[in-house]
């Protein structure tokens, strides 16, 4: 079923359990409770959640940094039972709109080369490959560097 009504808001310490649960469905995920706790403290880090309306349940999360005129998308994830309903699409579109509002020069991210789902998502939104970091991840997989620019 496509995503109907939703709201995106800043995450807080009260969301920690939900953030950890959503990230926990990602077999390759490196975001732990400690990571979220740390991100929630950093002045340049933005942790956001997508909630279904009117249910109020957080089903997606987004973590990004705003540094030196650029945005780095660190992590986007959707609860396993709500995938392929447009949750990540809504979150990343929201980020791209923020990038335009902030006048960001670009939005960058890195993704596992074999993460076909995430790569399809980013490609659909206009991200382009700008580089590869060989054997970047612990398991030896390459990271693909992607960029999005407003114009």
Ligand X SMILES: CC(C)(COP(=O)(O)OP(=O)(O)OC[C@H]1O[C@@H](n2cnc3c(N)ncnc32)[C@H](O)[C@@H]1OP(=O)(O)O)[C@@H](O)C(=O)NCCC(=O)NCCS
Contacting positions for ligand X (CB under 6 A) = 26, 75-78, 83-89, 111, 115-118, 120-121, 124
Q: Closest CB to ligand X among 2 and 103? A: 2
User: Can you state the percent helix, strand and coil of the chain, rounding each to 5?
Assistant: 30, 35, 35
Q: Closest CB to ligand X among 75 and 127? A: 75
Query: Least distance (Å) from ligand X to the CB of residue 121?
Result: 3
Coil, strand, or helix at residue 77? strand
d(CA 33, CA 94) in angstroms, rounded, equals 24
Q: Which residue is nearest to ligand X (CB)?
A: 117
Query: Least distance (Å) from ligand X to the CB of residue 100?
Result: 20
Q: Closest CB to ligand X among 11 and 86? A: 86
Query: Least distance (Å) from ligand X to the CB of residue 81?
Result: 10
CB 142, CB 135: distance < 8 Å: yes
CB 55, CB 5: distance < 8 Å: no
Q: Closest CB to ligand X among 88 and 99? A: 88
d(CA 73, CA 70) in angstroms, rounded, equals 10
Coil, strand, or helix at residue 7? strand
Query: Least distance (Å) from ligand X to the CB of residue 96?
Result: 13
Pairing verdict, β 107-112 and 70-78: parallel
């Amino acid at each position: 079923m496509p995503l109907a009504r939703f709201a995106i808001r800043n995450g807080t310490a009260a969301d920690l359990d939900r953030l950890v649960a959503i990230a926990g469905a990602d077999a390759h995920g490196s975001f732990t409770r400690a990571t979220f706790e740390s991100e929630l403290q950093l002045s340049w880090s933005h942790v956001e959640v997508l909630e279904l309306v009117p249910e109020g349940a957080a089903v997606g999360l987004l973590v990004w940094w705003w540094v030196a005129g650029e945005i780095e998308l660190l992590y986007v994830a959707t609860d396993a039972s709500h995938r392929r309903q447009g949750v990540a699409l809504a979150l990343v579109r929201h980020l791209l709109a923020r990038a335009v509002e902030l006048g960001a020069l670009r939005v960058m991210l890195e993704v596992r080369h074999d993460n076909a789902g995430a790569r399809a998502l980013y490609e659909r939104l206009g991200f382009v490959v700008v580089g590869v970091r060989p054997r970047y991840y612990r398991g030896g997989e390459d990271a693909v560097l992607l960029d999005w620019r407003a114009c």
